[in-house]
């Protein structure tokens, strides 16, 4: 089994062996909805090359992204281990591979493994902190820095320089109008930082994009980097 997901790669051998019979590789399609609010979270997803978005849908239909999950973590952890329904919409932002595990099997293993429980809670904490940082970012930082941050985060999560990303979804990511995103993306393209055509983004100059990004990119990234070196 090839483990592209950092969470799965961090599992102790006995935990991985216990979960392996219930792990299945799946292909996730762009736009595919994994959970709607109120759905039972009967599976946990561990993205490999896919990137999954968690959004809150407001009463007027506007969707605001609260966090994204890629190969650094897992989707549905807290809802699955507490056997609670999904709180928001969870859908595939960038299509690709993922491993899927049964929530009930995962909960059973948690009762037997303190190490798995610790790793799960650390990742759940990091995902919650990402959402909290995002709230502060949307209030305190300009759209230019937020867009650069989300582009870098998407690149990190899919592990590639080129990925599909529409202007409509970039507007959801940054919480602004599509016309504003169009202006910002065009400026980055003109400066040679990114290339953008037909819903596909290519990062050309990551170093410059890092300079454009707000501080939240490094703060969130460090949280997950720390998990890769935390013993369980």
Please check the confidence at residue 1 and state whether its pLDDT lies above 70. Answer: no
- Contact present, 7 and 228 (Cβ < 8 Å): no
Q: Are residues 10 and 102 in the same domain?
A: yes
Domain span including residue 170:
142-214
Q: Are residues 11 and 97 in the same domain?
A: yes
- Contact present, 47 and 91 (Cβ < 8 Å): no
Element (H, E) at 85: none
Q: What pLDDT sits at residue 199?
A: 86
Q: Are residues 17 and 88 in the same domain?
A: yes
Range with the poorest average pLDDT among 5-19, 115-129, 131-145, 203-217: 131-145
- 200: domain CATH number? 1.10.10.10
Please check the confidence at residue 72 and state whether its pLDDT lies above 80. Answer: yes
Q: Are residues 102 and 154 in the same domain?
A: no
Spatial strand order of the sheet with 200-203 comes to 162-164, 200-203, 194-197
- Indicate whether 21 belongs to any domain: yes
pLDDT, tens digit, 9 for 90 and up, residues 156-195: 888 889 998 888 878 877 777 888 888 988 999 999 999 9
What is the pLDDT averaged over residues 2-15? 87
Please check the confidence at residue 128 and state whether its pLDDT lies above 80. Answer: yes
- Indicate whether 124 belongs to any domain: no
What is the pLDDT averaged over residues 44-55? 93
Nearest to 204 by CA among 165, 151, 167: 151
Q: Are residues 183 and 88 in the same domain?
A: no
Q: What pLDDT sits at residue 228?
A: 72
Number of C-beta neighbours around residue 36 at 10 A = 13
- Contact present, 46 and 8 (Cβ < 8 Å): yes
d(CA 77, CA 55): 16
**Could you tell me how many helices (H) and strands (E) the chain has, helices first?**
10, 10
What is the pLDDT averaged over residues 56-62? 78
- Indicate whether 186 belongs to any domain: yes
d(CA 19, CA 41): 17
Q: What pLDDT sits at residue 13?
A: 94
Q: Structure tokens of 54? A: 């968690």
What is the pLDDT averaged over residues 58-68? 78
If one counts the domains in the chain, the total is: 2
Q: Are residues 169 and 101 in the same domain?
A: no
- 65: domain CATH number? 2.60.120.10
- Indicate whether 80 belongs to any domain: yes
Q: Are residues 109 and 20 in the same domain?
A: yes
Q: What pLDDT sits at residue 71?
A: 92
- Indicate whether 1 belongs to any domain: no
Mean pLDDT of the chain: 88
- Indicate whether 224 belongs to any domain: no
- Indicate whether 197 belongs to any domain: yes
CA 41 centroid distance within chain: 17
Range with the poorest average pLDDT among 60-69, 71-80, 160-169: 60-69
What is the pLDDT averaged over residues 17-21? 93
Where helices occur in the chain by DSSP H, the ranges are: 6-9, 13-19, 77-82, 103-110, 114-140, 143-158, 167-174, 178-190, 206-212, 216-227
Is residue 159 exposed (0-12), middle (13-18) or buried (19+ Cβ within 10 Å)?
middle
Cα dist from 186 to 11, 99, 138, 155, 165, whole Å: 42, 36, 21, 18, 14
What is the pLDDT averaged over residues 22-32? 93
């Amino acid at each position: 089994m090839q483990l592209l997901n950092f969470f799965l790669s961090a599992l102790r051998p006995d935990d991985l062996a216990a979960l392996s019979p219930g792990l299945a590789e799946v292909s996730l399609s762009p736009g595919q909805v994994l959970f709607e609010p109120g759905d039972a979270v009967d599976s946990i997803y561990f993205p490999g090359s896919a990137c999954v978005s968690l959004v809150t849908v407001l009463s007027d239909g506007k969707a605001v992204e609260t966090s994204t999950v890629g190969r650094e973590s897992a989707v549905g952890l807290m809802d699955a281990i507490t056997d609670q329904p999904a709180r928001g919409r969870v859908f595939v932002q960038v299509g690709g591979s993922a491993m899927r595990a049964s929530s009930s099997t995962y909960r059973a293993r948690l009762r037997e493994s303190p190490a798995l429980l610790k790793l799960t809670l650390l990742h759940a904490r990091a995902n919650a902190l990402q959402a909290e940082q995002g709230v502060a970012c949307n209030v305190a930082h300009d759209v230019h820095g937020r867009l650069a941050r989300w582009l870098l985060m998407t690149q990190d999560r899919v592990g590639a320089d080129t990925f599909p990303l529409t202007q409509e979804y970039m507007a959801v990511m940054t919480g602004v109008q599509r016309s504003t995103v169009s202006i910002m993306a065009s400026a980055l393209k003109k400066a040679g930082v990114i290339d953008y055509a037909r819903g596909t983004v290519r990062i050309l100059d990551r170093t410059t994009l890092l300079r454009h990004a707000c501080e939240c990119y490094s703060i969130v990234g460090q949280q997950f980097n720390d998990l890769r070196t935390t013993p369980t």
